[in-house]
Structure 1
Amino acid sequence: MKCSSCGLPLSPSRANANCPRRGASPDARSNGSKSTGNANPAHAGSYEPFSWEGNGEGVPLGAVMSPPNGQWGQGSSGGPTAPSSYNPSLAQANAPQAAQPEQMWLPGPVAAPTISPKPITLQRPMSSRFPQPPGYNRNMRIAFLVAGLCVVAGGLLLVFVYFMAIGTGNNTGNTGSATSTVPSPTAASSPAITPSPTATVYPGSQFIDNAQVSSAAPSGSQPGQPATTFKVNQKLYVSFNLHTGGQKGEVCLIWYLNGQQAFTSSFAIGANTKFSYAYAIYGSSGPSYVELYWASTNTCADKMLAQHVNFTITP
């Protein structure tokens, strides 16, 4: 409950209480009478103070109505009384006094808004970017994790492809080498090993031909199995066919090792001899060959080169 004159709250238990600011009773306020202000008793005899309600009309303090029962704090139900002459004692009595225990009024709820304290929370400084949603940081972490896994997987895939390419290149190189070693059909169809093919026609080849070396002694008129490699201190045989033309002659042999002459040998051939052979033993290793000559005398003075056969001595 508020005062209709000044707006201050009034005690709910005292409906007829005087105005707490101006001291006027409710009836006096409703009838347009003015309440007394803070009158100064010391100047009561010199002038009459006025109280204003804001309507432009001044009313002397002596016109304030006193309560019917002679006590402040209770309103009067009767109409306004006629103004009386100014009485200093009455003005002092009508002035607002300190509220007594029985005249205390309880203030109503304060109309001013109240500010309730809020807990202070530390906030991050404002950034120039847009505000981030609550799950933004978590989503960003997941995105970075997925991106990192993709990068690692891509690197592993590149390494795998690199090693696969290397392996394929090696296999291709090996296949090419193997293909290049396949013998040609001509080589396969050629006769078995002929250590001394008579590619060059020598002057004495009309007397001696088909010379070859072997590790086994010839049997009768059949030469041993041809060979091209022999061991040191191993006996090797050179066999050949003869075409004497019914005359006697001499077969001269010169053996070479590492491009130098190692030793010589010779033997006589009868007029009707068709096949013959000779042998030698090498004490050192290296590339070797033997040359066969036909001569009409045993001194080999008129010898003619007939055959040349290559072979190798190994340790």
Structure 2
Amino acid sequence: MLETIEKWVIDNGPVWAALVATIFTWISTAAGAGLVFFFKKMHRGLLDGMLGFTGGVMVAASFWSLLAPSIEMSEKYYPDYPWMPAAVGFMSGAIFLFILDKSLPHLHINFREGESEGVKTQLHKSWLLVLAITLHNIPEGLAVGVLFGAASLGLEDASVSAAIALAMGIAIQNFPEGFAVAMPLRRTGMSRWRSFYYGQLSAVVEPIAGVVGALSVIYMQSILPFALAFAAGAMIFVVVEEVIPETQRDKYTDIAVLGFIGGFIVMMILDVAFG
């Protein structure tokens, strides 16, 4: 099965592969959001555990799928300063998300409406929640696209199987993420269809970011180590600034931590097994 997918990726190119992979992660988000058709309430401990799982996947992916290949490539291309591309790229990704975080109006899950961040706006709470998860999904889409772009160049440190493993990991954590967006909206009295619509909408940005990431490394190969680290820095910023605080607002912090560890292990196994 994996060999068939790898052949398809090679035959169709990294841009199509990144697009299909991120559409798959989008569908996973929609599937999670679709649980609102079956449930109206969700236990807060389950929500925090799901969010913790999301954070664990993102941290593991940041290292094994992005930072480690960036450092290995840097040792070949920049032997005198092998730390430089990873450090500069990582910081740039964090600063990029910092700017988006301060500019884009959004509301973290589990936060009250008066605690919204970014520029002041009159947007409804539902849109603010969607925009918050959209911030999560931008670096995820970029990461998948950059890794598929790197694999297309035939580099030893970035294989197609590693890109597939990353896409699988992102899809796995997107399922509870879609659920985590849609259920709070449903709990406020919003209809099932509208809750589902807003829940899946948060991942629409992933295919766009994936294509941008793939194109950037194909046409600017010299930036590849920087691009991988950039995606890692953006993901870590999201985890520390948004995902972890979202899980620390109630009495289920231990469940969130266990979820984080579980997500980390799942992504680590995927990357080591396939990468």
Query: Normalized against structure 1, the TM-score is what?
Result: 0.18
Higher helix share: 2
Normalising to structure 2: TM-score of the pair? 0.20
Structure whose alpha-carbon radius of gyration is higher: 1
- Higher strand residue share: 1
Structure number with the bigger relative contact order (C-alpha 8 A, sep ≥ 6) is 2
